[in-house]
């Protein structure tokens, strides 16, 4: 049982000691601390917040609840984590791209839930590709290709898995302290030398305001420093989808386009900027300009695409692109004007309802469902030009095409375009 004084201490806004936090996490894992008791603690954290020292202690306790990945090469180990957003396929591009720059990328990713798509779901639209590998299997892939993208197995930060389930049903998912510990317990288990965070800001992301995004980024950077993991962050816009493709197979296809030196410029730009942060952090003497030049060359020369195909094969997949997607249904612009707003919630909800996303963790994904956004905020458009394309089974398209007609707001006056890169933090 949690001593009443321990919960009262947190409810009254007093910091817990590392020993007290370790007791809670260990006790929750062993069953000594019941779900309802941990729920009470989570609610207290959500209301009162946590001191930086408490967040570090919680992260460490969650890390120590499981195993760490073995280091199997002498190359620096780096990774990127995104807080998630509509159309965010950067991991599929960045991981193999970084692996062409003399670093290892042991990327542990997640599945989609709600409006935000998951990297693992996107990858699994590639025939045969396996995302659940043992430590021995993933080490073999890393030695061979310098990169893997897999899901966390049950031995990596198992306390996080149990705590997330509690957060999900108690309305405490948005706590910055709990988000920080959840992310970093898994990243520290990967034994990284550097991490870059892509913190999304806007209606299509988890953090809706700049203040929320900045608070999370600063918390991650601070706790990373205390754990001797250098972390930098880029705050990027998510008031509109990233790139044109939203879905699973369709996002893989767009990622392949970028890996081949084409594709939406905003996806390419964000990928390169995130990668540059990591190369500068782990290669002594490399300037940011040099890092950007190297990353750009490896994209344009097809080197990153070759590495992506090697990773796909090493994880059991067939590099057969483009992946098949559903039939296309076009939504056209009704009048001349400028794009004022793209309703990310409507676009994301459409994907989920058509089976391209999940309402519950056990839901199955239809990888062929997707959307293509043919416009950007601030763009001048003419009546009759395509603004959206829906890809799905034709039996379901009518209602959704009608709904999507209202997902793009037009103005009869020029609209300022939105900058993709909002802020760099380190």
- Give per-residue pLDDT as tens, 22-64: 988 998 888 888 888 888 888 888 888 899 999 999 999 999 9
Is 186 catalytic? The answer is: yes
Q: Taking the domains of the chain in order of start, what are their residue ranges?
A: 4-49, 78-314, 327-411
Are the C-beta atoms of 115 and 349 separated by less than 8 Å? yes
Confidence of residue 144 (pLDDT cuts 50, 70, 90): very high
- CA distance linking residue 220 with residue 346, whole number of Å: 30
Is 374 catalytic? The answer is: no
Per-residue pLDDT, 364: 84
- CA distance linking residue 232 with residue 282, whole number of Å: 12
Catalytic site residue from 77, 81, 268, 323:
81
Per-residue pLDDT, 81: 94
Pick the CATH number of 327-411 from 2.30.110.10, 3.90.1170.30, 3.40.50.720, 3.40.50.300: 3.90.1170.30
Q: Where are the beta strands (DSSP E) in 38-134?
A: 78-82, 105-109
Are the C-beta atoms of 242 and 277 separated by less than 8 Å? no
SS3 content of the chain, % helix, strand, coil (to 5): 45, 15, 35
Per-residue pLDDT, 113: 61
Residues in the chain, overall count: 426
59 closest CA partner among 232, 230, 233, 220: 220
Q: What is the pLDDT of residues 275-325, one digit of tens each?
A: 999 999 998 889 999 999 999 999 999 999 999 999 999 999 999 999 999
Do the first three CATH levels of 4-49 and 78-314 match, i.e. the same topology?
no
Of 62-71, 159-168, 182-191, 298-307, the poorest mean pLDDT is in 159-168
CA 336 to the chain's CA centroid = 35
- CA distance linking residue 239 with residue 378, whole number of Å: 12
188 closest CA partner among 53, 356, 64, 368: 64
- In sequence order, the β-bridge partners of residue 62 are none
- CA distance linking residue 138 with residue 148, whole number of Å: 7
Catalytic site residue from 10, 186, 214, 397:
186
Are the C-beta atoms of 126 and 317 separated by less than 8 Å? yes
**What are the residues whose beta carbons fall under 8 Å from the beta carbon of 351, sequence distance 6 or more?**
115, 117, 246, 247, 357, 369, 370, 371
Q: Where are the beta strands (DSSP E) in 55-173?
A: 78-82, 105-109, 147-151
The mean per-residue pLDDT over the stretch 254-267 comes to 95
Count Cβ atoms below 10 Å from residue 359 Cβ, excluding itself.
10
- CA distance linking residue 41 with residue 7, whole number of Å: 6
Confidence of residue 173 (pLDDT cuts 50, 70, 90): confident
The mean per-residue pLDDT over the stretch 124-144 comes to 94
Confidence of residue 363 (pLDDT cuts 50, 70, 90): confident
CA 52 to the chain's CA centroid = 24
- CA distance linking residue 101 with residue 106, whole number of Å: 14
Catalytic site residue from 160, 237, 257, 343:
160
Confidence of residue 369 (pLDDT cuts 50, 70, 90): very high
- CA distance linking residue 388 with residue 307, whole number of Å: 32
Q: For residue 353, what is the DSSP state?
A: I
Catalytic site residue from 75, 80, 167, 358:
167
Is 30 catalytic? The answer is: no
Cα dist from 38 to 62, 183, 238, 369, whole Å = 14, 19, 33, 38
Is 125 catalytic? The answer is: no
What 3-state class would DSSP assign to 352?
Answer: helix
61 closest CA partner among 35, 108, 13, 23: 23
What 3-state class would DSSP assign to 400?
Answer: helix
Per-residue pLDDT, 165: 77
Q: Which CATH class is domain 78-314?
A: alpha beta
The mean per-residue pLDDT over the stretch 237-260 comes to 96
pLDDT over 70 for what percent of the chain?
96
CATH topology for 4-49?
A: 1.20.970
Catalytic site residue from 65, 182, 236, 368:
182
Confidence of residue 118 (pLDDT cuts 50, 70, 90): confident
Per-residue pLDDT, 330: 94
Are the C-beta atoms of 225 and 231 separated by less than 8 Å? yes
Cα dist from 135 to 46, 139, 140, 316, 373, whole Å = 34, 6, 9, 16, 39
Per-residue pLDDT, 54: 94
What pTM, to 2 d.p., does this model score? 0.92
Q: Residue 116 above 80 pLDDT?
A: no
Is 160 catalytic? The answer is: yes
Tell me the average pLDDT of the chain. 91
């Amino acid at each position: 049982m949690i001593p009443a004084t321990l919960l009262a201490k947190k409810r009254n806004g007093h910091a817990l000691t590392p020993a007290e936090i370790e007791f809670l996490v260990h006790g929750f894992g062993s069953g000594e601390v019941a779900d309802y008791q941990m729920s009470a603690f989570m609610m207290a954290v959500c209301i009162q917040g946590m001191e930086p020292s408490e967040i570090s202690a919680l992260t460490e306790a969650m890390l120590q609840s499981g195993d760490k990945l073995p280091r199997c090469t002498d190359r620096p180990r780096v990774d990127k984590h995104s807080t998630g957003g509509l159309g965010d396929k950067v991991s599929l591009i960045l991981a193999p791209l970084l692996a062409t720059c003399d670093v290892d990328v042991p990327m542990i990713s997640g599945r989609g839930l709600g409006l935000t798509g998951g990297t693992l779901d996107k990858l699994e639209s590639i025939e045969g590709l396996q995302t659940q590998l043992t430590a021995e299997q993933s080490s073999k892939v890393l030695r061979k290709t310098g990169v893997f993208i897999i899901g966390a197995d049950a031995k990596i930060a198992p306390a996080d898995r149990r705590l997330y389930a509690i957060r999900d049903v108690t309305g405490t998912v948005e706590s910055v302290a709990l988000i920080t510990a959840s992310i970093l317990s898994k990243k520290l288990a990967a034994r990284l030398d550097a991490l870059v965070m892509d913190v999304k800001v806007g209606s299509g992301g988890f953090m809706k305001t700049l203040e929320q995004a900045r608070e999370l980024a600063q918390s991650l950077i601070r706790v990373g420093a205390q754990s001797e993991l250098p972390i930098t962050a880029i705050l990027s816009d998510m008031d509109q989808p990233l790139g044109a493709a939203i879905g699973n197979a369709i996002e893989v296809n767009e990622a392949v386009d970028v890996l081949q030196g084409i594709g939406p410029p905003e996806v390419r730009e964000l990928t390169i900027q995130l990668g540059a942060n990591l190369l500068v952090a782990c290669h002594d003497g490399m300037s940011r300009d040099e890092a950007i030049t190297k990353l750009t060359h490896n994209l344009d020369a097809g080197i990153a695409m070759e590495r992506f195909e090697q990773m796909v094969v090493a994880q059991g997949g067939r590099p057969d692109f483009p992946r098949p997607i559903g039939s296309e249904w076009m939504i056209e612009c009704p009048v001349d004007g400028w794009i004022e707003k793209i309703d990310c919630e409507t676009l994301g909800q459409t994907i989920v309802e058509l089976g391209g996303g999940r309402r519950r963790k056990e839901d199955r994904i239809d990888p062929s469902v997707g959307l293509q956004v043919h416009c950007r905020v601030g763009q001048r458009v003419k009546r009759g030009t395509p603004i959206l394309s829906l890809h799905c089974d034709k039996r379901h398209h009518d209602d959704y095409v009608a709904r999507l007609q209202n997902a793009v707001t037009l103005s009869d006056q020029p609209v300022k375009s939105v900058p993709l890169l909002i802020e760099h933090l380190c």
